[in-house]
Structure 1
Amino acid sequence: MSDDGRHGLTIIAFIGSVFSPYYAWSAEKDPFAHCAMNVVLYGDRGRFAMTERRAASLSRGPDHIAIGPSAMHWDGTALTVRIDERGAPLPHRLRGTVRLEPRGFTAGPFHLDRAGRHRWWPMAPSSRVEVDFDQPDLRWSGGGYFDTNDGDEPLEAAFSRWTWCRADLPDGAAILYDVHHRDGGGQNLSLRFSADGSRREIRPPPAASLPATGFWRMPRETRSDDGRSRVLATYEDTPFYARSLLASTLGGEPVRAMHESLSLDRFRNPLVRLMLPFRIPRPLAP
């Protein structure tokens, strides 16, 4: 999120794209045949790109990953992302560079399910980000976050839904992750990290209700110190996913929190999956 609150950015490098209809429909279930660099700009110059590519378009090593024309590279102090993508169904161009500098690293991953098949590591919860795009013409600086996820089965096999949010604090960051398991029950991760990545104690805040999104009526909820939260902006409103900017109170501080709601019950609906190729093209050539 930019320091002035006007712009936001999400970048996800997928190997075995968990939201790919082609991956779900494939017989081989080869994750390397379903890769994508998902890039989303939020704000008055919003853009979305997620082109799925085959294994021939993937290159990776200990310090880099490239998927098609876009790539991430770690030089020991910063992660540099070079982006060259096209959106769909409108063929707008996204081309630019993002540099993320972590202020510290956390100790290790968390298991999101009882069987340990799904792992999440909020590796650098407090970072600085520099954004420099040629297309669209956009430059800003702000707070950032870097995490990794991996799993041994489809998300919808283990979870029915989740909500997640992250907010900068004066001395680090807070992350709230409420996961609802497919077989009942769930898990609440209420985490607070200092800027250097060390974990600090935080009591799980009480639940705070939020209105459903305007078009697709995606349910939203979060947590806040005083049990209240307000939606400042809705950046994504889709049949199974919503991303929003919230005004809340966490760790005794008023915060702007980036928030997501995911319904995997909605996602696995066959009609929803038939809609996804309009947003996630898969070229015939590598």
Structure 2
Amino acid sequence: MSDDGAHGLTIIAFIGSVFSPYYGWSRAQDPFDHCAMNVVLYGRPGRFAMTERKAGSLSRSQDHIAIGPSSMHWDGTELTVRIDERGAPVPRPIRGTIRLRPSGITAGPFHLDAGERHRWWPMAPASRVEVALTEPGLSWQGSGYFDTNDGDEPLSDAFTSWTWCRAELPDGAAILYDVNHRNGGGRSLSLRFGFDGARRDIRPPLPAALPPTGFWRMPRATRSDDGRSRVLQTFEDTPFYSRSLLASTLAGEPVRAVHESLSLGRFRNPLVQLMLPFKMPRPL
């Protein structure tokens, strides 16, 4: 998010694009043949790109990944992301450079399920970001977050839904992650990290109700110190996913939290699967 709150940006490098209908329909189930650099720009102007590419478009090493014309490179202190994508369903370009500088790196991953088949590592919960886009022409600085996920089976085999949110604190960041397991039960994480990446104690916040999204009526919920939270802006309202900006209280501080809700039950709906290619093209 930009410091003035006017812009937001999400970038996800997928190897084995977990929301890809093509991956789900594929007989080979080869993750390397279903890669994408998902780029979403919020505010004005807005952009969305998630072009799926085959294995020949992927290159990677210990500190570098490239998917088609876009790439990420880590030099030990800074992550540089170079974007060259075309949006969908409206084919508007997204080009530019993003630099993320973590203030500290956390200790390691968390397991989201009892079988330890799904792992999540919030590597840099508190970072500074510089955004310099040529298409559209836009530059800003702000607060950023960097994580990584990997798993040994489709998400929808393990989970029915989850909610997640991240908020910057005066001394670091707080993250809430609540997952519901397909076989019953779930896991609730209440995390707080200092700027150095060290984990600190946090009192688990109380459940806080949120209204569903406006068009697709996606359910939303979160947690906060006083059991109250307010939606400031809805960035994404889709049949199975929402991303929002919330006003809450965490670790005793008033915060603005980026929040997401995911319904994997909705994602599995055949009608939703047929809709996805309009926003996720896959060149022949």
**What is the TM-score with the length of structure 2 in the denominator?**
1.00
Partner of 2:121: 121
What letter is aligned with 2:162? W
Give runs of aligned pairs for residues 236-251 of structure 1, distance below 5 A. 236-251=236-251
Partner of 1:233: 233
Give the Cα separation in 2 of the matches to 1:4 and 1:253.
Answer: 19
What letter is aligned with 2:168? D
What letter is aligned with 2:23? Y
Give runs of aligned pairs for residues 63-82 of structure 1, distance below 5 A. 63-82=63-82
Partner of 1:205: 205
How well do the aligned residues superpose, as a CA RMSD in angstroms? 0.4
Give runs of aligned pairs for residues 126-137 of structure 1, distance below 5 A. 126-137=126-137
Give runs of aligned pairs for residues 1-286 of structure 1, distance below 5 A. 1-284=1-284
Give the Cα separation in 2 of the matches to 1:179 and 1:96.
Answer: 34
Give the Cα separation in 1 of the matches to 2:133 and 2:7.
Answer: 13
How far is 1:239 from its partner?
Answer: 0.2
What letter is aligned with 1:114? A
C-alpha offsets along residues 86-112 of structure 1, whole Å, 9 cap, x if unaligned? Answer: 011110000000000000000000000
Give the Cα separation in 2 of the matches to 1:53 and 1:204.
Answer: 41
Give the Cα separation in 2 of the matches to 1:83 and 1:36.
Answer: 12
Give the Cα separation in 2 of the matches to 1:144 and 1:87.
Answer: 23
Q: Does the residue aligned with 1:153 lie in a helix, a strand or coil?
A: coil
| Runs of at least 4 residues off by over 3 Å | none
Give the Cα separation in 2 of the matches to 1:46 and 1:173.
Answer: 26
Give the Cα separation in 1 of the matches to 2:9 and 2:89.
Answer: 20
Gaps in structure 1 of 5+ consecutive residues: none
Q: Does the residue aligned with 1:247 lie in a helix, a strand or coil?
A: strand
How far is 1:190 from its partner?
Answer: 0.3
Give the Cα separation in 1 of the matches to 2:114 and 2:271.
Answer: 30
Give the Cα separation in 2 of the matches to 1:185 and 1:242.
Answer: 22
What letter is aligned with 1:105? I
Give the Cα separation in 1 of the matches to 2:77 and 2:201.
Answer: 27
How far is 1:44 from its partner?
Answer: 1.7
What letter is aligned with 1:71? S
How far is 1:261 from its partner?
Answer: 0.3
Aligned residues: 284
How far is 1:204 from its partner?
Answer: 1.0
What letter is aligned with 1:210? L
Give the Cα separation in 2 of the matches to 1:88 and 1:142.
Answer: 26
Give the Cα separation in 1 of the matches to 2:99 and 2:246.
Answer: 25
Gaps in structure 2 of 5+ consecutive residues: none
Give the Cα separation in 2 of the matches to 1:38 and 1:130.
Answer: 18
What letter is aligned with 1:279? K
Alignment identity in percent? Answer: 79
Q: Does the residue aligned with 2:274 lie in a helix, a strand or coil?
A: helix
What letter is aligned with 1:122? P
How far is 1:236 from its partner?
Answer: 0.3
Give the Cα separation in 2 of the matches to 1:84 and 1:162.
Answer: 31
